């Protein structure tokens, strides 16, 4: 059902009306002054073409809406929903933080399990810089 725009010449009120083509000739009255409104000719909203981009999966240059849709189908990808990017970013940060914590705990456990002399030497090297010759 198309949307039609009406304008009241008496008070300047504008309104949009959904109506069937068969109802096109029905008079629309102004909500404010109840005068018959004039239908206006308005350009329909048209979706612009998709901006060109390089596909992150294939590296191919994609131009236009159809090529974009075909590329998504071919690569098995989809567009992110609104808010999904933030959610993904938060999840990645949580994963990174968990990985950092696991690495830190593993390193700490490793250092703790070293014989005392090696542990003290390692701590000294970490604090003072490793300018001694390393023997394994
Ligand atoms: Zn009016």
Q: What is the pLDDT of residue 74?
A: 94
Q: What is the pLDDT of residue 10?
A: 96
Tokens 């990645």 map to which residue? 92
CA distance 25 to 39: 10
Q: What is the pLDDT of residue 41?
A: 81
CA distance 36 to 116: 95
Mean pLDDT, the chain cut into blocks of 10 residues (136 residues total): 88 91 91 95 72 90 91 90 86 95 93 91 83 60
Q: What is the pTM of this model?
A: 0.37
Distance 15 CA to ligand 1 centre (A): 10
Q: What is the pLDDT of residue 59?
A: 93
Distance 26 CA to ligand 1 centre (A): 17
3 state DSSP class of 26? coil
Q: What is the pLDDT of residue 7?
A: 95
Q: What is the pLDDT of residue 132?
A: 57
Q: What is the pLDDT of residue 100?
A: 96
Closest alpha carbon to 55 in 64, 42, 43, 47:
64
Distance 4 CA to ligand 1 centre (A): 16
Distance 11 CA to ligand 1 centre (A): 4
């Amino acid at each position: 059902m198309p949307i039609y725009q009406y304008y009241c010449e008496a008070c300047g009120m504008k309104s949009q009306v959904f109506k069937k083509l068969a109802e096109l000739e029905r008079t629309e009255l102004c909500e404010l002054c109840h005068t018959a409104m004039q239908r206006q000719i308005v350009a329909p909203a048209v979706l612009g073409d998709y901006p060109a981009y390089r596909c992150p999966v294939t590296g191919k240059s994609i131009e236009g809406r159809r090529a974009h849709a075909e590329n998504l189908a071919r690569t098995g990808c989809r567009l992110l929903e609104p808010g999904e990017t933030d959610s993904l970013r938060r999840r990645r940060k949580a994963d990174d933080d968990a990985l950092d914590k696991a690495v830190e705990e593993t390193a700490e456990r490793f250092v703790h399990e070293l014989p005392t002399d090696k542990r003290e030497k390692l701590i000294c090297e970490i604090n003072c810089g490793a300018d001694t010759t390393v023997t394994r």
